[in-house]
C-alpha cells in the first residue's frame, strides 16, 4: 500500500471515529433535552409544597413571634400519637436564621412527630419574619423578652413550675444563656448542634465570622437580608449545591423524591432577615470575642455565668456537622455546674440530624427516654 492510500485510509478512519463521537454527543444531548422537558412537566404538575404537617395551636404571640402547642391526636397526615408520658412539656427554641418547620418538614421526616409518638408534650417558638422596624431588637429582647415570655406561657398553659428547654443551633445558644439567667424556670436543658465555644478553628463559618465587618453590614441594612446570610451558607460547601441539583434532576420522575427535594428547597430559601442589633451582638460578643465561655457576656444588665446551669444537661451533636464543629458544642459540658450531664452523638449533618432516616429512629426516642428518667416530682 502506497503512502497516499495509507493517508486516505487514516482519513476515513478518523472521519468515521469523529462521526461516531458526534452521534454519541447528539444522542446524549437529546436525552438531556428530553429529561429537561420531563422535569419541567413534572414541576408544572406540582400544585403546592406542604410543610409543617403536624396539627398545632397558637397559645401565645407577641408581634411576629408565636408559640405553638402541638396536638396529641391524629390529623389527616399524622400518625396516632401517645398521650404525654413526660409530665413536664418541652419548649423548642430554634435559630433565628431559618424557619422552625424544618423540625416538622413532612410526615415521615418530622422530629416533632417522633417526639409526640414517644409521649413528649411539645411547644415550639416561631420567630416569624422581622420587619425593618424591628432592627433595634437585641439579644436581651430575644432571651429575657421573647424566650422568657414563652417559657411563662408554657408554665401557665401546662400548670408547671419549670419546663424542659430544647435549643437547636443558635437557638441552643439562646437556651443556654436563658438557663444561666433563669435557672429556676428550666427543669432540664437539651442542646442540639449548639455553638458554645467560638474560639475553635474547625469550621469555615467560624473563621469567616471572626473577620466580618458586622458594623458595616448592620449599619447598611438594619435588618440583615436573608439572601446575604444564605449566600454565606452556600459558600461553605459550594460543590454540594451542584451535586444536590444534579441529583434532583435525575429524580424528577420520582414523585416522592421530587417532593422531598422541593420541601427542602422551600425551607432553605424561606429564611427571615436578622434584626441588626441582635445580629451585631451575636457576631461581636460570641464569634469574635467568645464572651460566653469567658463569663463576660452581658445580656441586658446581667452577666451570663454558665456555672449557674445546674439542672440536668443533654448536649447532642451531629457526626458530620459542617456548620457547628463538635469542639464548639462539646465545650458546654466543661463550663456548666450540672452534675448530671451527658454528651450524645447522632449520625448525620447539621440538617440530617433531624431529617435523616437514622436520626429519625434515634434522636427523639433518646430525648424522650432521657426526659422520662428525670421527670419526677
**Active site members:** 169
The angle formed by the CA atoms of residues 353, 357 and 360, to the nearest 5 degrees, is 60
CA 91 – CA 114 distance, rounded (Å) = 15
CA 209 – CA 220 distance, rounded (Å) = 17
Please answer whether residues 56 and 68 qualify as being in contact, where contact means their C-beta atoms are separated by less than 8 angstroms: yes
Distances (CA, A) of 119 to 116, 158, 192: 5, 15, 20
| CA R_g for the chain | 25
3-state secondary structure (DSSP) of residue 298: strand
- The angle that helices 226-236 and 238-250 make with each other, rounded to 10 degrees, is 90
Please answer whether residues 92 and 166 qualify as being in contact, where contact means their C-beta atoms are separated by less than 8 angstroms: yes
* Helical spans, DSSP H, in the chain: 3-44, 111-117, 139-140, 148-158, 170-181, 204-211, 214-221, 226-236, 238-250, 255-269, 276-281, 291-294, 326-330, 332-335, 352-355, 357-372
Amino acid at each position: 500500500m502506497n503512502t497516499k492510500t495509507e493517508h486516505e485510509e487514516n482519513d476515513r478512519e478518523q472521519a468515521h471515529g469523529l462521526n461516531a463521537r458526534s452521534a454519541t454527543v447528539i444522542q446524549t444531548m437529546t436525552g438531556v433535552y428530553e429529561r429537561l422537558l420531563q422535569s419541567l412537566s413534572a414541576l408544572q404538575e406540582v400544585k403546592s409544597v406542604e410543610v409543617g404537617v403536624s396539627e398545632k395551636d397558637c397559645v401565645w404571640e407577641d408581634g411576629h413571634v408565636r408559640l405553638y402547642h402541638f396536638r396529641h391526636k391524629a390529623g389527616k397526615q399524622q400518625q396516632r400519637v401517645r398521650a404525654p408520658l413526660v409530665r413536664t412539656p418541652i419548649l423548642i427554641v430554634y435559630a433565628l436564621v431559618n424557619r422552625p418547620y424544618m423540625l416538622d418538614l413532612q410526615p415521615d421526616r418530622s422530629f416533632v412527630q417522633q417526639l409526640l409518638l414517644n409521649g413528649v408534650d411539645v411547644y415550639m417558638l416561631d420567630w416569624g419574619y422581622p420587619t425593618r422596624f424591628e432592627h433595634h431588637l437585641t439579644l436581651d429582647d430575644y432571651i429575657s423578652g421573647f424566650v422568657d415570655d414563652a417559657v411563662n406561657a408554657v408554665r401557665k398553659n401546662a400548670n408547671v413550675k419549670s419546663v424542659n428547654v430544647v435549643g437547636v443551633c443558635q437557638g441552643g445558644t439562646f437556651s443556654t444563656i436563658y438557663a444561666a439567667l433563669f435557672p429556676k424556670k428550666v427543669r432540664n436543658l437539651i442542646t442540639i448542634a449548639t455553638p458554645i465555644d467560638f474560639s475553635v478553628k474547625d469550621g469555615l463559618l467560624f473563621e469567616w465570622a471572626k473577620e466580618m465587618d458586622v458594623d458595616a453590614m448592620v449599619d447598611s441594612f438594619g435588618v440583615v437580608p436573608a439572601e446575604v446570610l444564605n449566600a454565606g451558607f452556600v459558600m461553605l460547601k459550594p460543590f454540594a449545591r451542584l451535586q444536590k441539583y444534579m441529583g434532583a434532576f435525575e429524580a424528577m420522575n420520582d414523585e416522592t423524591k421530587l417532593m422531598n427535594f422541593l420541601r427542602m428547597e422551600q425551607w432553605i430559601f424561606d429564611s427571615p432577615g436578622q434584626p441588626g442589633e441582635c445580629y451585631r451582638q451575636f457576631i461581636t460578643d460570641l464569634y469574635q470575642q467568645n464572651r460566653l465561655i469567658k463569663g463576660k457576656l452581658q445580656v441586658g444588665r446581667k452577666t451570663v455565668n454558665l456555672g449557674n446551669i445546674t439542672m440536668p444537661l443533654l448536649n447532642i451533636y451531629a457526626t458530620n456537622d459542617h456548620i457547628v464543629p463538635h469542639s464548639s458544642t462539646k465545650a458546654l459540658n466543661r463550663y456548666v455546674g450540672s452534675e448530671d450531664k451527658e454528651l450524645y452523638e447522632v449520625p448525620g449533618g447539621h440538617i440530617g440530624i433531624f431529617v435523616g432516616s437514622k436520626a429519625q429512629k434515634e434522636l427523639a426516642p433518646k430525648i424522650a427516654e432521657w426526659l422520662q428518667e428525670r421527670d419526677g416530682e
